[in-house]
Structure 1
C-alpha cells in the first residue's frame, strides 16, 4: 500500500478541529485499518491506569516497554519502574490502543519503540531484546505478525 499525505488549510474549521479524508480505489483491509487507526487517535488518552496496593497509578503509554503475565499476575515494565498487579494480558492489550504495542506470545506484549533486536532461538521461536536489558520470547504463532509490523 502506498500512502500519499497532503495538508490543506481550511479556515472554516474551528480551532482544534481536524478533518481527515481517506481516499482509495476501494475499501480494503489496509484502508479500514488506516481509518480505524486515525479514529483511535481521538480516543487515545496516552495513559494506562494501574491499580496497585489500593491506589491507581497513571502510567504514560510511551513509557511502557513491555507487559508480561504469569497466571493472573501482570508485570508492567516501564522506563523507570516495574509494576505488579492482578489482571489479564488481553485486558491490557485492549487498553493500549496505538499500534506500538504488539502481543508476541500468550504471555507478553511489547512496545515496538523499545525493541532493540531479534535473535533466532530454538524450536523456531525468537528472542526479543528490549531496552532496560529485557529479553522476551516471541512464539512462532505471533512471529509473522511481528515481522509484518516491522516491515520484514
Structure 2
C-alpha cells in the first residue's frame, strides 16, 4: 500500500478529499474506503435524537442497541457515571440512524435490530441457526441467522 499526501488549493478549509486507486476493486481497497468513511463519521462523538418535543444529545459509545418497534425506533442507552441506563424513542428510521454511526462499531443483526459491538459480551447458539447476543446492562438480542455471517465478519471471526 502506498500513501501520499497532495495539497489541493481548490478545496475549502477543513474539506478533505480521498482518492483510492487500485487495479481493481479488491477487498483491501474496499476496506480502506470503508475505514475512511467511518473516520469521517467519527468527527462527532455524539448524535442528536429527535424524541417527542425534545432533542436528546447522546454519546455514540453509550448506545447499546437500536430496535425497530412499529413506526418507532428505541435506542437502548447504557449506564454511565452521569446517567443511568434508559431508552429513547424516536420516529427516525434505522438506516438513517445507522448512517450517523461508525460502521466499525455498529452492525445490524436482524431486520429490526442493530447493536454496538463495543457492548457485546458474548454470542450464544440459539434455535434454528439464530444466535443470542449478550450485551452490557443485561440486554439480550436475537441475531437472525441471515445476519450471523456478517456479525462474525465484523468481529473478525
Long gaps (5+) in structure 1: none
2:133 corresponds to which of 128, 132, 141: 128
State the structure with bigger RCO (CA 8 A, min sep 6), 1 or 2: 2
- In the TM superposition, 1:1-152 aligns within 5 A as 27-44=25-42, 45-80=44-79, 81-152=86-157
Long gaps (5+) in structure 2: 8-13, 80-85
CA RMSD of the aligned region, Å?
2.8
TM-score by length of 2: 0.76
Distance 1:146-1:24 versus aligned 2 partners, 3 A rule: same
* Corresponding pairs, count: 143
Where has structure 1 moved over 2 Å in runs of 4 or more?
16-27, 42-46
Give the superposition deviation at 1:30. Answer: 2.7
**Structure 1 residues 32-81: Cα deviation after superposition (integer angstroms, max 9, x where no partner):** 22133224423432222111121111111111111001111211011132
What is the alpha-carbon distance in structure 2 between the residues aligned to residue 119 and residue 40 of structure 1? 28
